[in-house]
Amino acid sequence: MDISQKLIAKLKSAKSILFFTGAGISAESGIDTFRGKGGLWNKMSAQELASFDGFMKNPNLVWEWYQYRRKIVRETEPNAGHKVIAQLEKHFNKVTVVTQNVDNLHKRAGSSNILELHGNIERNFCMDCKTFYGVENFLDSEKAPRCKKCGGIIRPDVVWFGETLPQEIFAEAERKATESDICFIVGTSAVVYPAAYIPISAKEAGATLVEINIEATEITNQVDYSIIGKAGEVLPKLFELFLE
Ligand code: OAD
Ligand code: ZN
């Protein structure tokens, strides 16, 4: 892993930093990524399991898959990568986490400014009356449950393929991106839009882009620094050099 002194100097002078994260930051916690080696979408159908049409066709199958993923998430812990990001709040005025992940691990690690672009697996809502329900209501439900108020179908509060992102959250993420001095792109293939516009907006507004990934991605040729390595190893190392 190669971390340049210039980057550390840049980090020391930064006021506002933004982390744009994806499934790779949770890989070391034991949660599968979507693409690449061992990726979920290599063996499962995104169309069947992560689209509105897929859910309407077979709500029970999709519900069961989400219940399974929730169980995995509950059994995992935030890793060193999530924790370093949370600790950085003590050293900078502004630290924002813009995540594509739905696993809630940034929150559990202690980050306080988190913008979830693709929702959160720990929440559900009624498709008819929009009442929200936490996961604790349906721990044992094997089938897609019905709303206690109106009888509507309850779905996970995540963004599926073809759906729009929560507009206010996305707008806020864009705002934070344009205000940031450094934007870290951690553990994402950066191929899913509009989420992947966030680092591009940061760069256009003058931020330094730093990518942390185990391999090169679609965005590598646009970043100022590419650090090849695991998020759970690179981020603690970076933090150590920053504190020196
Ligand atoms: P991907 O699965 O597309 O990409 C994960 C990235 O993490 C890859 O570039 C890996 O090389 C990298 N990676 C794996 N392990 C790593 C580690 N230990 N440290 C650092 N990097 C590592 O995941 P996302 O980019 O998050 O959307 O995918 C974007 C969206 O596509 C997801 O939010 C989800 C998915 O379909 C929806 O569900 C709407
Ligand atoms: Zn309802």
Question: What one-character DSSP code corresponds to residue 223?
Answer: -
> Is any atom of ligand 1 closer than 6 Å to the C-beta of 77?
no
Question: What one-character DSSP code corresponds to residue 19?
Answer: E
Which residues are part of the catalytic machinery? 118
Give the tokens for residue 64: 């069961």
pLDDT, residue 21, reads 98
**From the first residue on, what is the mean pLDDT of each consecutive set of 10 residues in the chain (244 residues)?**
91 97 98 93 93 96 95 96 97 96 98 98 96 91 95 97 96 98 98 97 98 97 98 97 92
Q: Is 40-75+125-158 a CATH 3.30.1600.10 domain?
A: yes
Strands 182-186 and 94-99: unpaired
Ligand 2 center to 118 CA (angstroms): 22
pLDDT, residue 36, reads 87
> Is any atom of ligand 1 closer than 6 Å to the C-beta of 214?
yes
pTM: 0.97
> Is any atom of ligand 1 closer than 6 Å to the C-beta of 217?
yes
Distances (CA, A) of 156 to 89, 119, 183: 30, 9, 29
pLDDT, residue 137, reads 87
**Residue 208 to residue 13: CA distance in whole angstroms:** 12
pLDDT, residue 228, reads 97
Domain with CATH 3.40.50.1220 in the chain: 5-31+76-118+162-243
Residues with CB under 5 A from ligand 2 (ion): 126, 128-129, 131, 147, 149-150, 152
> Is any atom of ligand 1 closer than 6 Å to the C-beta of 118?
yes
Please report the atom of ligand 1 found closest to the CA of residue 23: 26
Per 3-state DSSP, the chain is made up of helix, strand and coil in percentages (nearest 5) of: 40, 20, 40
pLDDT, residue 37, reads 86
Helices (H), 23-97: 24-27, 40-43, 46-49, 52-57, 59-75, 80-87
Domain with CATH 3.30.1600.10 in the chain: 40-75+125-158
Q: Atom 15, ligand 1: which residue's CA is nearest?
A: 24
Ligand nearest the Cα of residue 148 is 2
Please state the CATH superfamily assignment of the domain spanning residues 5-31+76-118+162-243 in this structure: TPP-binding domain (3.40.50.1220)
Ligand 1 center to 107 CA (angstroms): 18
